Chain A
Amino acid sequence: MKSLEDLKVLREKLQADIRVRENDGTKIIIGMGTCGIAAGAREVMTAVLDELAVRKLKNVQVQQTGCIGMCEKEVLLDVVRPGEPRITYGNVKPTDVKRIIADHVINGHIIEDLVIGKMDGGEI
């Protein structure tokens, strides 16, 4: 290590590994109520984690939530990009995950055919 620049490069790289503790950036929130888990929420979760790993999206936060009373539409998955409304997708299958991440999480295009709800001020 010879300069401040070298150190900053190293820092950028290492920062990603503790990003989870910042609670900022885009969030993906998966409904993990009993019915959510029965409907395959764990599988969706694994698919999300896999896809984030493949794409090295370390600044995306994955959170879980309990039952929100829309059990018939499980698996529920919300995406909140900073400063944008909270979008809820319903009946999400592991195969939908790639599309949600590529289109919405990365590029900001909401996938209308999966949307079941929008909510402003998605700050959690």
Chain B
Amino acid sequence: MQHIRAHVLVCGGTGCMSAGSGKVIENFKTEIEKKGLSDEVMVVETGCHGFCEHGPLVIVYPEGTFYCRVTPEDVKDIVETHLYKGRIVERLLYHEPLSLEAVPSYKDIGFYKKQERRVLANCGRINPEAIEEYIALGGYEGLAKALTTMTTDEVVEEVKKSGLRGRGGAGFPTGLKWSFAKAAVNEKKYLICNADEGDPGAFMDRSVLEGDPHKVLEGMAIAAYAIGSDEGYIYVRAEYPLAIKRLRVAIAQAEKLGFLGENIFGTGFNFNLHIKEGAGAFVCGEETALMASIEGRRGMPRPRPPFPAVAGLWGKPTNINNVETFANVPLILQKGADWYCTCGTEKSRGTKVFALTGKINNTGLAEVPMGITMREIIYDIGGGVINGKKFKAVQIGGPSGGCLPESMLDLPVDYDSLISAGAMMGSGGLVVMDEDTCMVDVAKFFLNFTQSESCGKCTPCREGTKRMLEILTRITEGNGHDGDIELLEDMAVNIKDSALCGLGQTAPNPVLSTLKHFRHEYEAHIYEKRCPAHACEKLASYTITDACKGCGICAKVCPVKAIAGDPKRKHVIDPIVCIKCGACMAACPFKAIVKG
């Protein structure tokens, strides 16, 4: 066997795969073979790097050269120039969005520099279908340590000490949750991993499952040992076929090496894992609905108490945590709670993975230390607002979260600061909005999502969100009237108090936070029939400027004959007749029609 001198890591995550990385991998194999380098260069398929927008990504080691948007046709060049002759293929390097500088090395890219990749450390670095690579980076040491050197009490204590809080939304202290399930007396207990990930735009859990599935398995095995469970379920949405495939491979490998199954590490501890595919609605991510779904019933929430720790799956004591929560656990056991606490804030320890989207230069997954400011995330990691536009707001926490204005950009990102600012961590969705975004429209978008996902079991959520949505729609269409704001606020508070599950209880949040920080936009819509962002079509007004040459083309395309004027003279639009279709603006050859 020869010395393998170079590893070519090709991203095989969902994003890059859909951009064609399958063919890229194939071409690497044939081109490397052609050049006679098969014995010295290895091609590795990895999971997602969180930078899917630039995919397919290829990283060549030992140099750590980062190539992006690599097409199957580019592969030949990389093999001949880089792998054969040792020269970087400049044209495929990543360019910083602001300075336009080419960055050859993975570790120097702005998007990654301020990140603290703990949970995602292995994502994009190892082959997720090779347990050997996970072990090589310290995998399963946390489990070994817990099982062979610690009592179950000590494990729970260590997790409590780490300050880990649930990453699935509510931020409940994980160690405390485990202690409840541990205290429950029953010969059968279940452990569940919530991988339903229903928030629009969120894909952090998918990335972890695709890129480092063993980390989740290890975290689950540690939790099962701590609470005294011998059977677990991973509830994954069926829309994640690659994650499911990688999980199946990982479970089989872990069983083979004795990290799952019977008599793990010779300690007599058994733990068996099943995968349950959920093709369900958003509400199936709610823990009681999720358990109903595993049991084969319709995924609908039920009132708590009893909490899952007392009566969960099939009535047995059950502990349920999110994917990212479990993925934090191996590190805590392997390196200790004290090490874990070196990152984050007093009440929010460790890191959080965010999905950056919206009007931002670098979109993708970023893992940051808790307590980092929103400004650092948006500008240093996200590269600022796209097209040099002005920042307006950031929506954090998905449909349950809230919108924060520019004045709050220096807010530290942790569970409690976000709550007191009227937003929430949620699962970590982060949508950046620029000056062209209408905040009433944003509130409407999220409410529309929760409204259509409401399971309908309880009235406040089923009827209330529908009524609120009607009011918002009316406001954006210019039919809002005095009292609407107060009515929205009133309903929001009532729904929050009386809805049965978290979906209804948090659904009004986007409305409340935009009312709090962008009330003037609501007022402009209602009282001045004007959308300050010029986003609401029905409130737009079209006017003809002096650039008009009187060609009459606009008058011809106008479906309601709202435009009049003599030939070769400036035309005018009758605002009362105009239905704001925009056809004239598109048709004017002199760009003389503006929207205001």
The B contact surface, by secondary structure, is loop
A30 within 8 A of B: yes
Q: Which residue numbers of A lie inside 8 Å of B, CB to CB? A: 1-4, 7-8, 10-11, 14-15, 17-18, 20-23, 27, 30-34, 37, 45, 48-50, 52-53, 57-58, 60-66
| Residue among B1, B2, B5, B132 having the largest count of chain A Cβ atoms under 10 Å | B5
How far, in Å, is A18 (CB) from chain B's closest CB? 5
Chain B residues lying within 8 Å of A31, measured Cβ to Cβ, are 86
Contact of A2 with B4 at beta-carbon distance under 8 Å, contacts A11-B141, A64-B85, A66-B85 already known: no
Q: In this assembly, does B149 line the interface, its C-beta being within 8 Å of a C-beta of chain A? A: yes
- Are B2 and A53 touching (Cβ within 8 A)? yes
Q: Is B114 on the interface with A (CB-CB < 8 A)?
A: no
Report yes or no: A14 in contact with B135, Cβ–Cβ below 8 A.
yes
Q: Given A2-B265, A18-B126, A20-B4: A10 and B135 within 8 A (CB)?
A: yes
What sequence of 0s and 1s flags, for each residue 57-99 of chain B, a beta carbon within 8 Å of any chain A beta carbon?
Answer: 0000111100000000000000000001111000000000000
Contact A20 B258 (CB under 8 A): no
Q: Given the complex, which residues of B lie within 8 Å of A48, measured CB to CB?
A: 3
* Identity of the chain B residue whose Cβ is nearest the Cβ of A49 in the assembled complex: B3
Instruction: Specify which chain B residues have a CB less than 8 angstroms from the CB of A60 in the assembled complex.
Output: 3
Q: Kindly list 19 other residue pairs between chains A and B, CB separation below 8 angstroms, not including A20-B61, A21-B125, A45-B40.
A: A1-B257, A2-B148, A3-B265, A3-B266, A7-B140, A11-B136, A14-B133, A14-B136, A18-B137, A20-B62, A21-B9, A21-B64, A23-B64, A31-B86, A49-B39, A62-B3, A62-B5, A63-B86, A66-B87
Instruction: Name the B residues within 8 Å of A2 (CB-CB).
Output: 148, 265-266
B144 CB contacts on chain A under 8 angstroms: 1, 3-4, 7
> Are A32 and B141 in contact, with the CB atoms below 8 A?
no
A77 to chain B, nearest CB (A): 12
A11-B5 contact given A32-B85, A33-B85, A64-B85, CB 8 Å threshold: no
The answer to whether B85 and A17 touch across the interface, beta carbons within 8 angstroms, is no
* Separation of A57 and B2 alpha carbons in the complex (Å): 11
Contact: A18 with B85, CB < 8 Å? no
Whole-angstrom CA separation of A33 from B86 in the bound complex: 8
Q: Are B85 and A49 in contact (CB under 8 A)?
A: no
* A34 cross-chain contacts in B, Cβ below 8 A: 85
Query: In the complex, which residues of chain B have a beta carbon less than 8 angstroms from the beta carbon of A20?
Result: 4-7, 61-62
* In contact, B3 and A52 (Cβ under 8 angstroms): yes
Q: Does B241 contact A (CB under 8 A)?
A: no
B145 at the interface (CB under 8 A from A): yes
18 CB-based A-B contacts, threshold 8 Å: A1-B258, A3-B265, A3-B266, A7-B135, A8-B141, A11-B138, A17-B4, A17-B132, A21-B7, A27-B62, A30-B86, A34-B85, A45-B40, A49-B5, A50-B2, A61-B5, A62-B3, A64-B87
Q: Which of chain A's residues have a CB closer than 8 A to the CB of B6? A: 20, 62
* Least CB distance, B56 to chain A, in whole angstroms: 18
B135 touches A53 (CB 8 A): no
Quick one: which of B7, B63, B148 contacts A18, CB cutoff 8 A?
B7
By Cβ-Cβ distance, the 10 closest A-B pairs, closest first, are A64-B86, A62-B5, A52-B3, A14-B136, A32-B86, A4-B144, A2-B266, A49-B3, A61-B62, A53-B3
Name the residue of chain B whose CB is nearest to the CB of A62: B5
Q: Which of B3, B7, B141 contacts A58 (CB 8 A)?
A: B3
- A7: which B residues are within 8 A, CB to CB? 135, 140-141, 144
By a CB distance below 8 angstroms, the chain A residues around B259 are 1
Binary flags per residue of B1-19, CB closer than 8 Å to A gives 1, else 0: 1111111010000000000
Across the A-B interface, how many residue pairs have beta carbons closer than 8 Å?
Answer: 102
- What's the least CB distance linking A53 to chain B, in Å? 4
Provide the residues of chain B in CB contact with A32, threshold 8 Å.
84-87
Task: Please judge, given known A-B contacts A33-B85, A49-B2, whether A4 and B141 are in contact too, CB under 8 Å.
Answer: yes
Minimum CB–CB distance for B83 against chain A, Å: 8
Contacts of A14 in B (CB 8 A): 132-133, 135-136
Contacts of A50 in B (CB 8 A): 2-3
Set of chain B residues within 8 Å of A15, measured between Cβ atoms = 136-137
Contact with A along B95-129 (1 / 0, CB 8 A): 00000000000000000000000000000011000
Chain B residue at minimum C-beta to C-beta distance from A42: B84
Q: Chain B residues with Cβ under 8 A from A27's Cβ?
A: 62
A57→B145 contact, CB < 8 A: no
A60 to B4, CA, bound (A): 10
Inter-subunit contact B149/A4 (CB<8 Å): yes
Which residues 134-179 in B have Cβ within 8 Å of A in the complex? Answer: 135-138, 140-141, 144-145, 148-149
**Min CB distance, A31 to chain B, in Å?**
8
Q: Whole-angstrom distance between the alpha carbons of A61 and B63 in the complex?
A: 9
Complexed CA–CA distance, A1 and B148 (Å): 11
In the complex, what residue of chain A is closest to B138 when comparing beta carbons?
A: A11
A63 to B144, CA, bound (A): 37
Residues of A within 8 A of B132 (CB): 14, 17
Residue from B62, B133, B149 within 8 A of A63 (CB atoms) = B62
Given contacts A50-B2, A63-B62, contact A3 B86 (CB under 8 A): no
B61, B64, B133, B141: residue with the most chain A Cβ atoms closer than 10 Å: B61
CA distance A28 to B257 in the complex (A): 36
Whose C-beta in chain A lies nearest to the C-beta of B143?
A: A7
Q: Once the chains are docked, how many angstroms separate the CA of A114 from the CA of B145?
A: 50
CB of A3 within 8 A of CB of B61, answer no
CA of A52 to CA of B79 in the docked complex: distance in angstroms? 22
In the complex, which residue of chain A has the Cβ closest to the Cβ of B81?
A66
Minimal Cβ-Cβ distance residue in B for A57: B3
In the bound complex, CA of A70 to CA of B84 (Å): 19
Known contacts: A4-B148, A20-B7, A49-B3. The answer to whether A66 contacts B133 by CB under 8 A is: no
Given known contacts A20-B5, A20-B6, A20-B7, A11 and B135 CB-to-CB distance under 8 angstroms: yes
Q: How far is the CB of B38 from chain A (nearest CB, A)?
A: 12
Residues of B within 8 A of A64 (CB): 85-87
**B136 and A18: CB pair below 8 A?**
yes
B141's nearest neighbour on chain A, judged by CB, is A7
- Residues of chain B lying within 8 A (CB to CB) of residue A23: 61-64
> In the complex the two chains form, what is the Cα distance from A88 to B390 in whole Å?
52
B-side contacts of A49, CB under 8 Å: 2-3, 5, 39-40
Q: Which residues of A contact B257 (CB under 8 A)?
A: 1
Q: Which residues of B contact A8 (CB under 8 A)?
A: 141
Shortest beta-carbon distance from A39 to chain B in Å: 13
* Minimum C-beta distance from A27 to chain B (A): 8
Which chain A residues lie closer than 8 Å to B85 at the CB level?
32-34, 37, 64, 66
